[in-house]
Each structure stands twice: as C-alpha cells, then as structure tokens.
Amino acid sequence: MSVLDSSLVRGADTDRLAGHDKILIIDLGSQVTQLIARRVREEKVYCEIVPFQRADEAFKAMRPKGVILSGGPASVLDRDAPLAPAAIYEAGVPILGICYGEQAMAQQLGGRVEGGHHREFGRAEVTVTEDSPLFEGVWRKGERYPVWMSHGDRVTRLPAGFRVVAQLRAQDRGLQGRLDHARV
C-alpha cells in the first residue's frame, strides 16, 4: 500500500477519484501516521499521507473533503516547527488535529500553546463532556474511554470559535488535559 500517490501531488489527473470522499493526512512527524491512515481506510474512505512540506500542493491537487493533522514529537514553540499551510484553514473543510496537530492548529489560529512543565506519557481516560460530530456514532456524552497520551506542551487558550468537548484524566496522576491518541 502506497503512502503517497505522487501523481496526485504533482497535479496529475484526479478524475478517477472525483466521486469519492478523500481525506488528506498531513504528517507532522508522528510515529503512528500509518495507523491513522489504516483506520480511515478501514472505514472505506480514501486517504493519502503527505509530509507537511508538500501539504499545500497536495491539498490543491486532491481537493479533500477533510484534513487530519497528525501528531509529532516537535513543539509548536520551536523556531522551525512543522505546521500546516494556512490555505487549509481557509478552505472550509473539516480539520482534525491529533495531539501535536491540535496544538499546531490552535497556535496557527490564534490560540495559545505553552510548554508543559513535564512531558506526559501513558494511559489516560477521556470523558466526553459535550455532543460533537467528532464523536457521533462512536463515543457518547458523559462516558469515559481509554486513550494514550504523549505530549509535552498544552493548549492554554482556545482559538476563537473553538470549544472543549472532552476532558482528559491521567489514570495514575490525576492530571487534566485535552491531548490524546484515541486511535491506539
């Protein structure tokens, strides 16, 4: 299975996929980007993974119905942090940011991300606190679900128009947060 159909990135004919829902996964350095793609494909949705450096041209060529920003080991506070192209935020398609992807999206859209006092890694539980299309048919409001977290930074102010729809609780330390890897 190919990670990237390079003909799409180069702007070749995309008519063969015109009638299909397509998701673009922008790889920001995550070790589990392939797993994210597999889970999307298991739902019978076509997706492609592209490195963040090629995301702008891939987005224009593919015209996806949605975008996933992967996690990654970087900090959005780093000088040359990997980021998504601004055009995807202006395109009006749904965007899902996972861990670092969430932090990058928050930072790029006017939120605030701060360095954590320590890295958090391990099993946690997320509690769905609000109804959201993100959880529809999968998770229910008021229920808890096991997740895996791995991050050092945290979003301390949401961008305008965003809201918290779930809370994270580390099972062994009682920590609260919003960053998780529900797919693991």
State phi, psi for 34 to the nearest 5 degrees: -65, -35
Q: Tell me the chain's radius of gyration from C-alpha atoms.
A: 16
pTM of the model: 0.79
Section 114-139 average pLDDT: 84
Strand arrangement, sheet containing 66-69: 46-51, 22-27, 66-69, 95-97
- Here the CATH number for the domain that contains residue 54 is 3.40.50.880
- Whole-angstrom Cα distance, residue 141 to residue 148? 19
Q: What is the DSSP string of 35-54?
A: HHHHHHHHTT-EEEEEEGGG
Neighbours of 176 (CB within 10 A): 11
Q: What is the per-residue pLDDT across 8-27, written as a single tens digit (0 to 9) for each? A: 333 344 455 556 789 999 99
Q: Closest Cα partner for 129 from 115, 146, 141, 114? A: 141
Section 129-150 average pLDDT: 89
**More reliable by pLDDT, 143 or 174:** 143
Amino acid residing at 101:
G
Lowest-pLDDT choice from 102-106, 127-131, 180-184: 180-184
Alpha-carbon dihedral sign for residues 79, 57, 59, 31 = negative
Q: Closest Cα partner for 178 from 131, 113, 133? A: 113
Lowest-pLDDT choice from 25-39, 90-104, 156-170: 156-170
Degrees, nearest 5: CA angle 172-173-177? 110
Section 113-137 average pLDDT: 84
Section 60-82 average pLDDT: 93
Average pLDDT, the chain: 81
Answer whether residue 183 is part of any domain: no
Q: What is the model's pLDDT at position 35?
A: 94
- Whole-angstrom Cα distance, residue 150 to residue 48? 24
Share of the chain above pLDDT 70, in %: 78
**Structural domains of the chain, count:** 1
Residue 87 vs residues 6, 18, 90: alpha-carbon distances, Å: 20, 21, 5
Answer whether residue 138 is part of any domain: yes
**Tokens 């970087």 — which residue?**
74
Answer whether residue 184 is part of any domain: no
Lowest-pLDDT choice from 17-21, 28-32, 154-158, 164-168: 17-21
Q: Which domain holds residue 25?
A: 6-177
Helices (H) and strands (E) in the chain, counts: 5, 8
pLDDT band at 50 (very low <50, low <70, confident <90, very high): very high
Answer whether residue 1 is part of any domain: no
Lowest-pLDDT choice from 75-79, 156-160, 175-179: 175-179
Answer whether residue 123 is part of any domain: yes
pLDDT band at 107 (very low <50, low <70, confident <90, very high): very high
Answer whether residue 122 is part of any domain: yes
pLDDT band at 85 (very low <50, low <70, confident <90, very high): very high
